[in-house]
Amino acid sequence: MTETLVQSGSKSALIGFDHPFCVIGERINPTGRKILNEELERGDFSRVQADALAQVAAGATILDINSGAVFSNKMAEDVRYADNNFVEPTLMRELILKVQEVTDVPLCIDSSVPGALEAGLEVAQGRPLLNSVTGEEERLEAVLPLVKKYNVPVVAISNDDTGISEDPDVRFAVAKRIVERAADHGIPAHDIVVDPLVMPIGAMGTAGQQVFTLVRRLRSELGVNTTCGASNISFGLPNRHGINNAFLPMAMAAGMTSAIMNPVALPVSAKKIAEKKAAVLAAGIILPEDMDDEAFVQLFGMGSTHARPGKEMEAIRAANFLTNHDAGGAAWIKFNKTPGSDDSGGGRGRRGGRRRRG
Amino acid sequence: MTETLVQSGSKSALIGFDHPFCVIGERINPTGRKILNEELERGDFSRVQADALAQVAAGATILDINSGAVFSNKMAEDVRYADNNFVEPTLMRELILKVQEVTDVPLCIDSSVPGALEAGLEVAQGRPLLNSVTGEEERLEAVLPLVKKYNVPVVAISNDDTGISEDPDVRFAVAKRIVERAADHGIPAHDIVVDPLVMPIGAMGTAGQQVFTLVRRLRSELGVNTTCGASNISFGLPNRHGINNAFLPMAMAAGMTSAIMNPVALPVSAKKIAEKKAAVLAAGIILPEDMDDEAFVQLFGMGSTHARPGKEMEAIRAANFLTNHDAGGAAWIKFNKTPGSDDSGGGRGRRGGRRRRG
């Protein structure tokens, strides 16, 4: 069965039909993370390293490294910084070296700049995953030779020069064409991980079904592994975790083998702690003067001041079990031995109960 | 497309491929509920009525009524009470009349005693669902004529005189034979809701995949609706809700159209409240003297002292959305407007973010 081998200098991650779902941590990405972007501009990689460790602790087996920063201050001094072809190769190199200092999980080199992809390939140990090629002609020509030269697997996103089609048959055809073009370069299908593109379910009611159908077709007709930006499905909706927690098991049941996602439940924010304290005091509760934030949030059921695995990881681990990638449930039982997990019973085995009588 | 019509005197519930998932509330069942069993023996139906209302409030659109009580005290006085053929018909009649006093949702008449099924059919308004027939010869002969006489739909459980097979192909064959036997009685396939039997995943690693495959086959090859005792999947495991919450969306993605399950998250128990209060006092927190339990459990993140929809209902509503039975998400948004729902963001639409730059 199809297996995509991703490696660091010392560790392997297998993406495949016969393996547990592969979680690719998405946090090391300055896009939309203003503070991280500013830190990177100042050459501060402390948060990057902390994010790497937190994601691995939460269950990521591959870390995505995205170099898409915008260095506005440097841009004001030196116009070259307005060009990501100038910024990203250097930044990608630095990001990878800093992450490799603290963890040895395999990496996913993520950039829309071919020069950054190659810079990453030069310094990443082992056999990283390249992210990404698309069906756009220019991108095919730039990326596939790199994939071949460095003998690495690649994420293939199913859009092309006409954009992202809302028609899943067109997105399948684009994926098929990328696989064929890769074959022309001598790249086997098992080294291509297709992202069928997840649309927001709030905007398109068929978005979920499109993904499930595409994943099944990509698996059975092209024999390729699949991935996605999982949180896109819940974009713009209330209770995004609720949607994500159902989406991931459904996609896994359809045969999805990996996702680029956030495995970490972020710590309770200082703002939320302050709000809760105000509500607690307003209710007439008197707190001991020496109570620290961690004790406070734990007693008041707010989670933790430390990063923990997110609810999505619980859904993935349960779905691994339900797709027979945790026979006997050892991994599930271990996961649920962490403090604060919900250990209460579900139902009572109704059917079994009744039948004993019958 | 296949539709099973279940009705009360005034309301219809449709189980079907083109409808939202049908939640059949399982709580009105004395099996394994000692206090309820004792109350029924005393003729106290207050909890039955409260459970009916709580399940409807949580989202059940059909209520299962199971009469499988064991009246030990009466048995000591009158040996006839040792026979469920004596106990259940009377009890089923009473249960249905009491439930119909407080709610008008359609009912599911659930007993292994044919006399109780007929007693239920005599008093239930509308077109109840009969639960159940199996592939056992005696049961086929007893139940199918009732289904025909009263023109009602029926749950068909895929075991037969040889027991419950661990081989899903045998369970499929049993279901097929029940559908054929029903056809001999003039009962159409759309009035049969097959329960493919859910094994505990902790005991059988393939249990989840068996259900998903069987549901797909039952739907495509026999054209029937499906149901299951959903909580069986997590029997004997820690964090049963975690397993159930992944199982239900996966089964729905495979085409399952209903489940017999508990839609209600039970109120926080007095014991848990007492334990938490002890921990709170031990931490040096001083509570106001007039604080009631509901205010306490809400401030300390314990849920509520009132019954609420369970996490499984969140998973089902999200999966309804993801299978395009909530286009636009109006039902999802309404569900999440209830106090205490998790309104925090999931991810940041990573892909979209990146593509805007590309």
Q: How far is CA B219 from the centre of its chain?
A: 20
Q: Which amino acid is at B205?
A: G
pLDDT tens across B104-133, in order?
999 999 999 999 999 999 999 999 999 999
Q: How far apart are CA A40 and CA B302, in angstroms?
A: 40
**Which of B133, B217, B205 has the alpha carbon at shortest distance from B166?**
B205
Tell me, yes or no, whether A258 and A293 share the same domain.
Answer: no
Q: Is the pLDDT of residue A351 over 50?
A: no
Question: Which residues of chain A are within 8 Å of residue B247 when distances are taken between CB atoms?
Answer: 249, 318, 322
pLDDT tens across A16-51, in order?
999 999 999 999 999 999 999 999 999 999 999 999
End-to-end Cα separation, chain B, in angstroms: 44
Q: Residue A32 domain-assigned?
A: yes
Q: Residue A295 domain-assigned?
A: yes
pLDDT, averaged across chain B: 93
Q: How far apart are CA B277 and CA B267, in angstroms?
A: 16
Domain boundary among B256, B283, B299: B299
Tokens matching residue A238 = 């209330």
Tell me, yes or no, whether A134 and A278 share the same domain.
Answer: no
pLDDT-derived band at A78, boundaries 50, 70, 90: very high
Tell me, yes or no, whether B85 and B176 share the same domain.
Answer: yes
**Residue B77, phi then psi, degrees to nearest 5:** -95, -30
What pTM was estimated for this model as a whole? Answer: 0.92
Domain boundary among A264, A285, A317: A264
The answer to whether the Cβ–Cβ distance between B262 and A31 falls below 8 Å is no
Q: How far apart are CA B259 and CA B244, in angstroms?
A: 11
pLDDT tens across B216-263, in order?
999 999 999 999 999 999 999 999 999 999 999 999 999 999 999 999
The answer to whether the Cβ–Cβ distance between A242 and B314 falls below 8 Å is yes
Tell me, yes or no, whether B287 and B255 share the same domain.
Answer: no
Q: Residue A189 domain-assigned?
A: yes
Tell me, yes or no, whether A107 and A230 share the same domain.
Answer: yes
Tell me, yes or no, whether B287 and B182 share the same domain.
Answer: no
At residue B1, the pLDDT reads 81
Q: Residue A148 domain-assigned?
A: yes
For chain B, how many structural domains are there in total?
2
Assign residue B69 a region (left: φ > 0; alpha: ψ between -120 and 50; beta: otherwise): beta
Average pLDDT for residues A189-194, to the nearest whole number?
A: 98
DSSP B260-290: EE--EEPPPPHHHHHHHHHHHHHTT-B--TT
CA distance B188 to chain A (A): 25
Tell me, yes or no, whether A130 and A253 share the same domain.
Answer: yes
pLDDT-derived band at B338, boundaries 50, 70, 90: low
DSSP B93-130: HHHHHHHHHH--S-EEEE-S-HHHHHHHHHH--SBPEE
Tell me, yes or no, whether B199 and B281 share the same domain.
Answer: no
Nearest to A112 among B238, B345, B357 (CB): B357
pLDDT tens across A119-158, in order?
999 999 999 999 999 999 999 999 999 999 999 999 999 9
pLDDT tens across B131-167, in order?
999 999 999 999 999 999 999 999 999 999 999 999 9
Q: Which amino acid is at A300?
A: F
Tell me, yes or no, whether B148 and B180 share the same domain.
Answer: yes
Q: Residue A334 domain-assigned?
A: no
Tell me, yes or no, whether A186 and A287 share the same domain.
Answer: no
Assign residue B209 a region (left: φ > 0; alpha: ψ between -120 and 50; beta: otherwise): alpha
DSSP A189-207: GGGEEEE--PPPTTT-TTH
Q: Residue B224 domain-assigned?
A: yes
Closest chain A residue to B157 measured between Cα atoms? A351
DSSP A16-45: ETTSPPEEEE--S--TT-HHHHHHHHTT--
Tell me, yes or no, whether A215 and A88 share the same domain.
Answer: yes
For chain B, strand residue ranges (E) read 3-7, 12-16, 22-25, 62-66, 107-110, 129-134, 154-157, 192-195, 225-226, 258-261, 264-265, 308-309
Q: How far apart are CA B256 and CA B272, in angstroms?
A: 35
When scoring B321, B326, B333, B336 by the number of chain A Cβ atoms within 10 A, the one with the most, hence best to mutate, is: B321
Q: Is the pLDDT of residue A314 over 70?
A: yes
Nearest to A358 among B112, B288, B342 (CB): B112
Q: Is the pLDDT of residue B344 over 80?
A: no
Q: Taking a C-beta distance cutoff of 8 angstroms, is the pair B351, A256 a contact? A: no
Please, how many CA atoms are within 13 Å of residue B212, restricted to the half-sphere of its CB?
A: 25
The answer to whether the Cβ–Cβ distance between A329 and B237 falls below 8 Å is yes
Q: Residue A46 domain-assigned?
A: yes
When scoring B110, B210, B227, B234 by the number of chain A Cβ atoms within 10 A, the one with the most, hence best to mutate, is: B234
Going by DSSP bridges, is the β-strand pair B22-25/B258-261 parallel, antiparallel, or unpaired?
A: parallel
Q: Residue A253 domain-assigned?
A: yes
Question: Which residues of chain B are within 8 Å of residue A205 when distances are taken between CB atoms?
Answer: 324, 326-328
**Which of B304, B313, B320 has the alpha carbon at shortest distance from B263?**
B313
Tell me, yes or no, whether B138 and B244 share the same domain.
Answer: yes
Q: How far apart are CA B138 and CA A83, in angstroms?
A: 79
Q: How far apart are CA B115 and CA B92, in angstroms?
A: 10
Domain containing B57 — which CATH number?
3.20.20.20
Host domain of residue B177? 3-264
> B264 forms bridges with which residues in the sheet?
B309
